[in-house]
Amino acid sequence: MKNINMIKFLLLPLILLSNFVYGQDSTTDTDSLDIKIGQMIMIGFNGTSLKDEDPIINEIKQGSVSGVVFFEKNIAESNSEIKLKQLTYGLQTLAPIPLFLAIDQEGGIVNRLKVKYGFPKSVTAAYLGELDNEDSTRFYAQLTAANLAGLGLNVNFAPVLDLASNPDNPIIARYGRAYSANPHIVAKNAGITIEEHKHFKVISVGKHFPGHGSSHGDTHLDMTDVTDTWNENELFPYDTLNKAGQLPAIMSAHIVNNNLDPEGLPGTLSKKILQGVLRKKLGFEGVVFSDDMQMHAITKYFGLEKSIELGINAGLDVIIYSNNIPNSEERTVKVVHDILRKLIENKKIPMSRINESYNRIMRLKKAYLYE
């Protein structure tokens, strides 16, 4: 029995590949509204293995979810690598459309795959930015990307494109998450990192647009206003990488910037920022992931339904509910899916927005997950 189980485990990658190649995506069925809505939802869940009673199993089978985001809570303390592979491949084999399987593996503090679980050592972006050495950045990017790909993870919420402009920033500079205060150094090292991830078919998501580096607050905890501290050069890494064709996706920031949006909406919910600045000014055509919609910068000031309505209309393509934020109400795929469908049916979100996002998401998946 052990030998049979081992053979099954070893064959999982081949089964997964055949599903992608031979059309388990069922493209003739993917034009239904429920599937399109599902492709816009990413969820986090508890546990290091799948159980038959887990709702996410049927939700994935039905195509009601686009992807899963992983945290340290999903990493088993023993046999970590094998168990995580079993989990990622198990999830993928359930899906009619390949899943985004995402993680925040920036390096340093923001590092889910820790040495104590048997994974390679990582370094901070600040360390690499200070070295500003192409070989060093490339080495660590290759190490990270190869590790993710081997584990079945295909999205990295990195690199950070924020500038370390405020050394007292409680969430960016303090943890060494930004390469530098110099936008040229940020763009250079981020570009190398994205390039190496692409070699391993791992999607890089640059964050946090339009720039979190000058903030004095933490959007995990409350609203943060950068109106008086944000600078135009914070767009430089996004603009540079986008023009070079190196930026497949970005993640929004929950920061308020009245210079970019006089209504004071946070970037994640702002049409002026996501459509006006990102799409029109910078010409970005990739996928926009929200930062975690359960962070208190959103939940304290906007209800669940209103934040979904504003966010999708603003230009979000994938909305993320990690179920990993302390003192935040748990969100399920069904609840989010039902709200999105109701908003569409009530004409509060136009079908054109759903189609735009669906097409972007499928282009990205086909570029990275189907080959």
pTM attached to this predicted model: 0.91
Report the CATH number at residue 325. Answer: 3.20.20.300
The pLDDT of residue 51 is 84
| Domains contained in the chain, number | 1
Q: What is the pLDDT along the chain (371 residues), one digit of tens a residue?
A: 444 344 344 444 444 443 443 334 333 344 599 999 999 999 999 889 988 888 889 999 999 999 999 999 999 999 999 999 999 999 999 999 999 999 999 999 999 999 999 999 999 999 999 999 999 999 999 999 999 999 999 999 999 999 999 998 888 988 999 999 999 999 999 999 999 999 999 999 999 999 999 998 778 877 899 999 999 999 999 999 999 999 999 999 999 999 999 999 999 999 999 999 999 999 999 999 999 999 998 999 999 999 999 999 999 999 999 998 888 788 999 999 999 999 999 999 999 999 999 999 999 999 999 86
Q: So what's the pLDDT on residue 325?
A: 86
Give catalytic status of residue 220 as yes or no.
Answer: yes
Catalytic residue among 291, 292, 317, 337: 291
Domain residues for the domain of 149 are 2-368
Q: What is the CA radius of gyration of the chain?
A: 20
Catalytic residue among 220, 254, 296, 337: 220
Query: Do 340 and 308 meet the contact criterion of CB atoms below 8 Å apart?
Result: yes
pLDDT at 16: 42
Task: Give the Å distances, CA to CA, from 49 to 6, 60, 83, 235, 359.
Answer: 17, 15, 7, 40, 31
